[in-house]
A and B are shown apart, each in its own frame.
Chain A
Amino acid sequence: MIYLIFAYFCLSTVGISIMALTRKNPVHAVLWLLLLFLHIAVIYLFLNAEFLAMVQVIVYAGAILVMFLFTIFLIGAKELPKHKRYTSLFEGRLLVGLSLTATFIAVFSSAEAKYKGKYTIGYIQEVGNVKSVGMMLFNEYSLALLILGVILLIPMIAVVVLAWRRGDDTP
């Protein structure tokens, strides 16, 4: 049964990502992307990562996709000038991409987890997933977390500077 559910999520994830990237209308593409992120959140639940599944839904589906939709509405994607869909050198680029795909699949399907840490399934079930992630995040990676706060501050300033429309209409 679990194999059947996992097979459904594998196939639908691949299918949805192809559907998302082949839509002509960008709004449809973003909505397919929302479906893709929900499926990926369920795959995180397969891997006992409940906190990350919720972060995926809240941050990606809630924040980033809304940002995409606002951008599409701001630039008015319907009124874009028509141009060809794909780049020049289409076949060559597709060949490079397909060979990279074959390399990834060949490398990843022969990987094995040799290292075993102390956070076993039993330990995480006893302590709790959120608590064990938080202990690691706030003890061992506390400096990285502070730097992450600065990294999230910089885009805020950058967005204000870049999207500012000045009164004298200079670009």
Chain B
Amino acid sequence: MKLALTVNGAPVAGEIEDRMTLADFVRDHCGLTGTHLGCEHGVCGACSVLVDGEPVRACITLAAAVDGRAVTTIEGFEDDAAMAVIRECFSEAHGLQCGFCTPGMVIMVRDALARGCCGSEHQIRDQLAGNLCRCTGYAGIVKATEMARDRLAKAG
């Protein structure tokens, strides 16, 4: 089928198989390999991207179902002030080890911070429970999120 949507602000069109997932579309069709595929059945959260500004799991979202919508992958946050702070904090607080889960992780952190759901460590862990880090580096991830929360609050 024919598909036309916006990816990271730019229009993208193409002919795809109906069964293609959004994750395969951004990786294979758009060449945006920052979206990582861990489990491919909606368990690990590594493939999280935004559709019309809301996070979804690209491996269990059909590309066909987001025809006409605006998709943002990890490559699309270059001019995003909140993401710049989150990246800085993940670096400083050792929020990543191998880095495979990081694109999905920071996209979910950005969303949880924007919704004001990161008041306590417990809340942060609850919000990020759907994103698995196989290095088990959760302590650093939680610390980086707390750091980003406080810096963003200070910046207003």
Q: Do the two chains bind?
A: no
